Amino acid sequence: MTQPGPHGLQLEDERRIFHAGLQLFNEGQYFEAHDTWEEIWHQVQDRRREKFYRALIQGAVTLELLRRGRAEGVRQVFLSSSELFKGLPETFMGLHIPTFLANLKNAIAPALADLDAKQTKIDPTRLFTIELTYDPFEQSRNGESCELPPPRN
């Protein structure tokens, strides 16, 4: 068994959970992705990573609310996600944040078109997947400091 990483969670576990959440998100299972990432968010001790996971969770919640047709919630949670990403590097944990937010904004465009609307409909053609620019558990490009140690021989 490995020691917990500097973030209070074993890096192998964090990596597994992070990638499981990405897979769920990319399959359109936004509520399940949100639940999965919450496992990390509750344990991570690094403030920037905690903020990142909260923002990512809010992005998944935004799309789940869109699926449920709740326009007001979509708008509120989207703003929360956008605010949480502020102050992080443009690319963090392998996620290019401006692209993620642009894709999210495009996905919820029907809810943004009428700010008085209480209900909205999801347009499946606007949904997107997350593609990381790098695996933060293999290389730390922007101060993530979550590289896994090399395997022992």
Query: How far apart are alpha carbons 14 and 43 in whole angstroms?
Result: 9
For residue 95, give the 3-state DSSP assignment: strand
Summarised one tens digit per residue, pLDDT across range 27-40 is: 999 999 999 999 99
- Dist. CA 90–CA 74, nearest whole Å: 23
pTM of the model: 0.89
Q: Which residues pair with 29 in a beta bridge?
A: none
89-142 pLDDT tens trace: 999 999 999 999 999 999 999 999 988 889 999 999 999 999 999 999 888 887
Question: Which amino acid type is present at position 116?
Answer: D
pLDDT at 153: 57
Contact present, 49 and 89 (Cβ < 8 Å): no
Q: Where are the domains of the chain?
A: 11-126
Which residues fall within 8 angstroms of residue 65, CB to CB, at 6 or more apart?
Answer: 73, 74, 77
List phi, psi (to 5°) of 91: -120, 125
Q: What is the pLDDT of residues 48-85, one digit of tens each?
A: 999 999 999 999 999 999 999 999 999 999 999 999 99
| 53-73 b/e (C-beta count within 10 Å ≥ 16 → b) | bbbbbbbbbbbbbbbebbbeb
Concatenated DSSP letters of 106-153: HHTHHHHH-TT-SB----GGG------SS-TTT--SSS---PPPPPP-
Q: Closest Cα partner for 46 from 6, 81, 83, 19? A: 6
Domain 11-126, CATH among 1.10.3450.10, 2.60.40.10, 1.10.1270.20, 3.40.1280.10: 1.10.3450.10
DSSP, collapsed to helix, strand or coil, labels residue 54 as helix
The per-residue pLDDT for 77 is 97
